[in-house]
Amino acid sequence: MLRAMVIGFGSIGMRHVRLLEGLDVETAVVSRRNVDVPKVYSTINAAISDWQPDYVVVASKTQEHLKDFQALAEAGFDGTVIMEKPLFDHATDLPEHTFKQTFVAYNLRFHPVLQRFKELLEDTEPYAVHAYVGQYLPDWRPDANYRNSYSAKKAEGGGVLRDLSHELDYLNWILKGWTRLTAAGGHLSNLEIDSDDVFSVLFESHRCPVVSVQLNYLDSTVRREVLALTDQGSIRADLVKGTVEFANETGTFKTELFQCGRDDTYISQHSAAMAEDDDFLCTLDQGLDVLRFIDAAETAAVERIWIAA
């Protein structure tokens, strides 16, 4: 039987453990805290030596990802690794490792709405694409004080550019990578946080000359959508409503509805990674490119310049 190990046991780590066990995968945890699971280790090295997993999920805090990646490499792990997003807190050189495969957990790629949007866009010439994601941060986790969340703390990888980087990943995935960008944003609201709460990025990609994305912690309505204007009409995907609308040049509209449960994209992602089916998975190089995009956007916003990839 396949053995898995999850590093970190916060809310996302707990979810990974629950879902892996639901897939009949024996799962151990690495955590410095006392946690109520059958197999728990205090260090990565001890877990690799004793548990000998085939599959590792890094679900620690973003600023700890690089350290955990290094520890796995030094422990001689040679199986498959999936890193929670974003890969690290900044773009950096990768430590030497012998991992069989490494992926980044941009599970939104497995959402049926986004997959349908990608499919419809493939046979078109996109002129412009605009993505938007927003939700009021204090409403994200109603049972917790938003000021104490990692989202509120820049040092822990919070802020919309990293926290909501699904949009940055899927736009670069679908549109074949960015070529240059400029950006505006930062901590602009009265939220009691030190991370960025609004960012807009304008960029050019290999497939599309005009791409824009806005990310924020401020929208009182939960929204996650993307619009493409193409030579064959418009395509609009709404990941909250589960709809894809598209129109041809005659003006005929069609709406398709998709169902997607809260855990479905995570389950599909784990199943694909363990089966080594990487058609939709985010590769290590793609995850690094998202970090380069984020670093460039932050620099562009401060210096008010365009930056080439």
Dump pLDDT digits (tens) for 146-172. 999 989 999 888 999 999 999 999 999
97: left (phi over 0), alpha (psi -120 to 50) or beta: beta
Residue with tokens 């996109």: 126
Q: What is the DSSP letter of 229?
A: E
Is beta strand 80-83 parallel, antiparallel or unpaired with respect to 55-58? parallel
**Verdict on whether the full-model pTM lies above 0.75:** yes
Please provide the DSSP assignment of 234-303 as one string: EEEEETTTTEEEEE-TT--EEEEE----TTHHHHHHHHHHHTT--SSSEEHHHHHHHHHHHHHHHHHHHH
Residue 304 has pLDDT above 80, yes or no: yes
Span 219-235, mean pLDDT? 96
Mean pLDDT estimate for the chain: 96
Is beta strand 282-283 parallel, antiparallel or unpaired with respect to 101-104? antiparallel
Residue with tokens 């199943």: 271
Tokens found for residue 190: 């009265």
What's the angle, vertex CA 141, arms to CA 139 and CA 145, rounded to 5? 90
As a whole number of angstroms, the distance between CA 160 and CA 187 comes to 10
Measured CA distances, 294 to 126, 302, 309 (Å): 23, 13, 11
Contact 170, 114 (CB under 8 A): yes
Dump pLDDT digits (tens) for 8-61. 999 999 999 999 999 999 999 999 888 888 899 999 999 999 999 999 999 999
Residue 249 has pLDDT above 80, yes or no: no
Q: Is the peptide bond before 53 cis (omega within 30 degrees of 0)?
A: no
Span 97-117, mean pLDDT? 98
As a whole number of angstroms, the distance between CA 227 and CA 224 comes to 11
Domain 108-260+282-308 in CATH 3.90.1150.10? The answer is no
3-104 adopts what CATH topology? Rossmann fold (3.40.50)
Contact 281, 273 (CB under 8 A): yes
Counts for the chain of helices (H) and strands (E), in that order: 8, 16
Q: Which of 85, 102, 107 lies closest to 165, judged by CA?
A: 85
Proportion of the chain above pLDDT 70, given as a percent: 99
Q: Which of 138, 181, 142, 135 lies closest to 160, judged by CA?
A: 135
Tokens found for residue 239: 């990941």
Residue 247 has pLDDT above 90, yes or no: no
Among the listed ranges 69-83, 245-259, 276-290, 294-308, which one has the minimum average pLDDT value? 245-259
Dump pLDDT digits (tens) for 198-211. 999 999 999 999 99
- Sequence spans of domains, the chain: 3-104, 108-260+282-308
**What confidence score (pLDDT) does residue 162 get?**
97
Tokens found for residue 135: 């939700």
Query: Residue 110 half-sphere exposure, CB side, CA atoms within 13 Å?
Result: 23
